[in-house]
């Protein structure tokens, strides 16, 4: 049981790190995106807040078990609920990006300008997110936690989004 407690604490700490990073990342990305009229950067920032919410929910679930506030049945209920919330948040982000991109394709909205802050932020995120995602994935596997696994994949998807965003921002700045 001591090993599970250690893994639960590691999972909670990984979620704290996710929340801390993503709040900062989200505020900077949305601010820089609004200044540059960049749907990509705003979407990236919104994704940070989606990921923050998911990390809070999954961290809550792991913390409840680690503090003994959840018996096996309650822990399983929290696990399913946290997994559903994480999935729903990912779908909400996809809907936002599709709607905003469609709006801009139809000619509504300003043309995006370059954002050095956005390029730097997404480049740092591209370095941070894979490390965090893989650490969560290993911990999820050891804990057999579907909710933490879903959250880990959301973090890994953020790394891919970082790559796509930094590439788009860099190309926009070049051309």
| 57 secondary structure, DSSP code | H
pLDDT number for residue 102: 81
- pLDDT tens digit string along 87-108? 787 787 778 778 877 877 787 7
Per-residue pLDDT at 156 exceeds 70: yes
Task: List the one residue out of 136, 168, 163 whose CA is nearest residue 149.
Answer: 136
pLDDT number for residue 37: 87
- Mean per-residue pLDDT for 124-137? 96
- Mean per-residue pLDDT for 122-140? 96
pLDDT number for residue 70: 64
> Left if phi > 0, otherwise alpha if psi is -120 to 50, otherwise beta: which for 16?
alpha
> Left if phi > 0, otherwise alpha if psi is -120 to 50, otherwise beta: which for 96?
alpha
Are 28 and 46 contacting, i.e. CB atoms less than 8 angstroms apart? Answer: no
- pLDDT tens digit string along 23-71? 999 999 999 999 998 888 988 998 898 889 889 988 988 888 888 776 7
pLDDT above 90 coverage of the chain, percent: 49
pLDDT number for residue 40: 84
């Amino acid at each position: 049981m001591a090993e599970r407690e250690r893994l639960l604490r590691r999972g909670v700490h990984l979620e704290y790190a996710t929340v801390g990073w993503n709040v900062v990342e989200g505020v900077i990305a949305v601010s820089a995106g609004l200044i540059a009229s960049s749907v990509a950067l705003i979407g990236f920032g919104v994704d940070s807040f989606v990921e923050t919410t998911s990390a809070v929910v999954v961290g809550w679930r792991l913390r409840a078990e680690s503090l003994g506030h959840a018996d096996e049945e309650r822990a399983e209920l929290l696990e399913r609920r946290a997994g559903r919330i994480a999935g729903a948040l990912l779908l909400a982000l996809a809907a936002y990006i599709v709607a905003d991109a469609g709006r801009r394709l139809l000619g509504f909205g300003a043309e995006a300008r370059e954002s050095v802050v956005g390029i730097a932020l997404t480049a740092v995120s591209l370095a941070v997110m894979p490390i965090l995602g893989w650490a969560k994935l290993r911990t999820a596997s050891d804990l057999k936690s579907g909710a933490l696994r879903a959250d880990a994949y959301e973090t890994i998807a953020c790394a891919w989004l970082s790559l796509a965003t930094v590439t788009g921002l860099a190309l926009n700045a070049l051309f």
